[in-house]
Structure 1
Amino acid sequence: MQENFLHYIWKYKKFQINHLKSVTGETVKINTVGEHNFNSGPDFLNSQLIIDELLWAGNVEIHVKSSDWFLHNHEQDSAYDNVILHVVWEHDTDIFRKNNKVIPTLELKDLIDKSVLVNYEKLFAEQNKWINCEHDFASVNDFVLSNWLEHLYLERLERKTKTIESLLKESKNDWEAVLFRMLSKSFGLKVNGDSFFSLAQSIDFSVVRKLQSNQQALEALLFGQSGLLKQDIEGAYYLNLTKEYQFLKQKFKLQNSQVLPCHFFRLRPINFPTIRLSQLASLYFKHQNLFSKIIEVNHLDDLYKLFKVSTSKFWETHYTFQKESKSIKKTLTKSFIDLLIINTILPLKFCYAKQRAIEADSDIIKIATSITSEKNSIIDAFNNLKKTTKSSLDSQALIQLKTAYCDKNKCLQCAVGNALIIK
């Protein structure tokens, strides 16, 4: 028996709550179970109980055995002076207040349905499973799962909001600057995401603003700061970029010693850092006040139009500075734009709306459900258990489920785990 399971039982009243009596025969009625306390002190705060027809307001402490009170040295901690009920799985000793009166104790072991215990033990019994409920995940009601996934998606956006708020603080609430940094990371994808982010961090966004009317200057800035202009290469385009960057470096006192190196290895040519940086430069050349435009847009098709940009002319016949290739217009693909929307645009829109107390959840959910589900090992594994993903909302929610709940054994805080325990 685990104490967190007893927290769950008490919090959601998953036991026989009628005609309760303490171990000493006092009647117990629950008005409110209290607020679950995840910090130090009693487990539930501000509970309201009627004990022997007398209303009590205070805290509830929960243990597997009554004697755990002494094991945890609560008798020496004044934070437990206001405990009005001791809830335990098994009562093995009386607990006293400082005035030597016994604290009422409620024993749960005969009040919990046996099937609940069996389901709980089954959920945590086997080791070395991908997730605890992998054998029963498919049996969860579609309605329960759908509602839980929407909750998880918003929870994931909340988590990303913390990162955005940190970037806002660094940039003195410059939303355009935060967008540039987050977009840069997204343009780098998994392999060059950290590199592109460090590149964006190395540039004051005021420099980007000043160069937005000059596409080649933007490319020189990005290529130079990324360290891609340090080669001994002949060619007008490369030499012009190098010359432009040296001018910009001196004018704006640019430093790039902290910028992480870019990688080409094991990347498809379309994802080479040269191509993605050129596309990023084109995006900012095409759109001034990009963040404002993004906030105004609430339809997926309009976001696709906003991000429909290509590389500059040189990169239509190159993937690297040296080798020429077949001419092809390298426009951002729909699938790539989807990733930008999922990882950058929607979290930013969510955070912006939250800070300004604007109701935007429905618009964000509508866009998220219109985008095709992502594909990765987590999504594939869940779909093998039960075909679950239809959209990016589902895939993002499942990533949140796996990383924030399954991997941390938080089945008791999960709607799926709850459904399997109480079925």
Structure 2
Amino acid sequence: MQEDFLHYVWQQQYFDKASLRTQEGEELTVLRPGFRHQEAGPDFPSARLRIGEVEWNGAVEIHLRASDWYRHQHQLDLRYDQVILHVVYTADQPVRRSDGSLIPTLELGPRIAPELLSTYEVLLAAPAATLPCAGLLPQVPSITRLSMVERALLERAQRKADTVLALHEQLLGDWEATTWHALAAGFGFQKNTEPLARLAKALPLAVLRRHRHQPLQIEALLLGQAGFLENLEEPDDYSTALQREYGFLRHKYSLADTALHAHEWNFLRLRPANFPTVRLVQLAALLHARPTLFAPLLAADKVTTLEAFFRAPLPAYWQNHARPGKAGSLAELGRSSAHLLVSNVVVPLRVAYSRHVGQPELAEEAINLLTQLPAEHNHLLAPYEALGFDNKSAADSQGLLTLHRAYCQPRRCLHCAIGNRILRQNTLVS
């Protein structure tokens, strides 16, 4: 058993409350269990209890064994002097505050329904390769499953929006610059997200915009600052021109100290279409073709509009070169890549903006874009599909993947609406 289970039992009050008494023999009534606290300090502050004839307001601390109080050194921490009840599975010894006063103890072990505990143990002991609730899922109504997948999807969007808002604050409230940074990281497509995010910091949008009408100069800034214009294997007229432009611009804007190096980028196990040099050229084409970034991404209500936004024509040189001075094929940004940018850049950006301006309906519109994208199908999603979960769009896929990674894989069934439903149906309390 994990302590988290006792937190769940106390928070939901899923235990037998008939003739409830502390270990010291005093009658106990729970008027308010308190609020789950994730920070340092007692687990459930703001609790209200009646112990004997006295009503108490304070905190509840929870442990598997009462002796854990001393194992965790709470008797030395003044924050725990506010504890008015020690809730434990096994009361193996009395505990006292820092001033020596006795803390009332409630032993929950004999009061938890065996059905609840056995169901919890089944969920916890499920093989790692399976869904913990797979065998119990028929007990769960489809509406509960659907609402949990939707909740997981919203959590993913909000978590990504948190990152965007932090970036927005760092950039002093500039949404256009925020979009540039988010878009640059997005063009890394996981394998090169980190170096592209650093490149965005090394190349302010204000600098790039001054050269928007000169594709060669934008390419020179991006490829040069990324370290791809050094030691060319087969220099040609175009790559030499890029070197010359970058040399001038690097000096003009004092860029040398923040430049990256070619070895910092990942090419391993990437198809040529995903090479970082290719993505940088596509990003340069986008900056050249689009006068602004944020407003069009905010306004688009269809994925097809966003696909067209990301589809920027490339200069002739790049139609048969994948790297400066090296032959190879290069194409405009593909449809599947555009869809990834919608999911990982556009939707979080718009959800962040909706929170910033206090208009939740904008977040709903952003997330609705995911319903226009095709579903993903992989080995992680296959078990959910086999159990009857819908997976008809990217909204379903992202919700299910978040459900898997944030709840099923780490066995956080106590925090999942599906797990809660299963446990509640196997709970017998008075």
TM-score of the two chains, using structure 2 as the length reference: 0.86
User: In structure 2, how many angstroms separate the alpha carbons of the residues matched to 1:364 and 1:186?
Assistant: 17
Give the aligned partner of residue 50 of structure 2.
50
Is the CA contact (8 Å cut-off) linking 2:15 and 2:112 kept in structure 1?
yes
Task: Provide the residue aligned with 2:132 in structure 1.
Answer: 133
CA contact (8 A) 2:132 2:411 kept: no
Q: Structure 1's 168 and 131: CA in aligned 2 closer, same or farther, altered over 3 A?
A: farther
The aligned runs of 1:182-201 (5 Å cut-off) are 182-201=182-201
TM-superposed deviation, 1:260: 5.2
Check whether the contact 2:219–2:281 (CA below 8 A) recurs between aligned residues.
yes
Partner of 1:314: 317
User: In the alignment, what sits opposite 2:299?
Assistant: 296
Q: Give me the CA root mean square deviation.
A: 3.0
Rounded Cα–Cα distance in structure 2 between residues aligned with 1:163 and 1:259: 26
Q: Aligned pair in 2 of structure 1 residues 320, 97: CA closer, same or farther (>3 Å)?
A: closer
Whole-Å Cα distance in 1 between the matches of residues 363 and 113 of structure 2? Answer: 39
Q: Encode CA deviations 1:165-205: one digit per residue, 9 max, x unaligned.
A: 34334433332223222222222323333333332222122
After superposition, the Cα gap between the structure-2 partners of 1:369 and 1:32, relative to the gap in structure 1 and judged at 3 Å, is farther
- Any conservation in 1 of the 2:77–2:98 contact (CA below 8 Å)? no
Aligned to 1:172: 172
Q: 1: distance between equivalents of 2:259 and 2:98?
A: 63
Q: Report the counterpart of residue 368 of structure 1 in structure 2.
A: 370
Residues 197-216 of structure 1 deviation map (CA, whole Å, 9 limit, x = unaligned): 33222212211111112222
Higher RCO, 1 vs 2 (CA within 8 Å, ≥6 residues apart): 2
Distance 1:377 1:248, change over 3 A: farther
* Deviation for aligned residue 1:138: 5.1
The answer to whether the Cα contact below 8 Å between 1:310 and 1:332 also exists between their aligned partners in 2 is no
User: Which range moved further: 256-265 or 302-311?
Assistant: 256-265
Residues 132 and 79 (structure 1 numbering): CA distance in 2 closer, same or farther, change over 3 Å? farther
Query: Tell me, which stretches of 5 or more residues in structure 1 are unaligned?
Result: none
1:341, distance to aligned residue in structure 2 (A): 0.9
Alpha-carbon distance between aligned partners in 2 of 1:347 and 1:138, rounded to the nearest angstrom: 31
Cα distance in 2 for partners of 1:243, 1:68 equals 68
Label 1:94 to 1:334 Cα distance change in 2 as closer, same or farther (>3 A): same
> Larger deviation: 400-409 or 183-192?
400-409
Alignment of 1:203-222 (within 5 A): 203-222=203-222
Q: Which residue is 1:267 aligned to?
A: 270
Q: How far apart, in 2, do the equivalents of 1:65 and 1:194 lie?
A: 45
Q: How far off is 1:9 after superposition?
A: 0.3
* Alignment-mate amino acid for residue 288 of structure 2: F
Contact 2:128 2:409 in 1 (8 A): no
Corresponding letter in the other structure for 1:290: L
**Does the 8 Å contact 1:137/1:416 carry over to 2?**
no
The answer for the alignment partner of 1:124 in structure 2 is 124
> 1:392 maps to which residue?
394
* Residue correspondence of structure 1 range 90-129 to structure 2 within 5 A: 90-95=90-95, 103-125=103-125, 129=128
Read off the aligned partner of 1:29 and give its amino acid letter: T
Contact 1:132 1:406 in 2 (8 A): yes
User: 2:355 aligns to what?
Assistant: 354
Matches within 5 A, 1:4-153: 4-17=4-17, 19-52=19-52, 54-95=54-95, 103-125=103-125, 129-130=128-129, 133=132, 135-136=134-135, 139=138, 140-153=140-153
Q: Tell me the residue number matched to 1:161.
A: 161
Going from structure 1 to structure 2, the CA distance change for 1:185 and 1:99 (only over 3 Å counts) comes to closer
Given that residues 198 and 259 in structure 1 are in contact (C-alpha distance below 8 angstroms), is that contact kept between their aligned partners in structure 2? no
* SS class of match (2:15): coil
Secondary structure of residue in 2 paired with 1:374: coil
The question of whether the paired residues in 1 share the 8 Å contact of 2:238 and 2:325 is answered with no
TM-superposition CA deviations, 1:37-85 (whole Å, max 9, x none): 2233322111112334643222112222334434444444433333222
Q: Report which stretch shifted further, 77-86 or 285-294.
A: 77-86
Bigger shift: residues 190-199 or 203-212: 190-199
Q: CA deviation at 1:300?
A: 2.8
Shifted more, 192-201 versus 364-373: the winner is 192-201
In 2: Cα distance, 1:49 partner to 1:4 partner:
22
- Deviation for aligned residue 1:132: 6.4
Q: Percent identity?
A: 34
Go from structure 1 to structure 2 and tell me whether the alpha carbon gap of 1:199 and 1:65 turns closer, same or farther (over 3 Å shift): closer
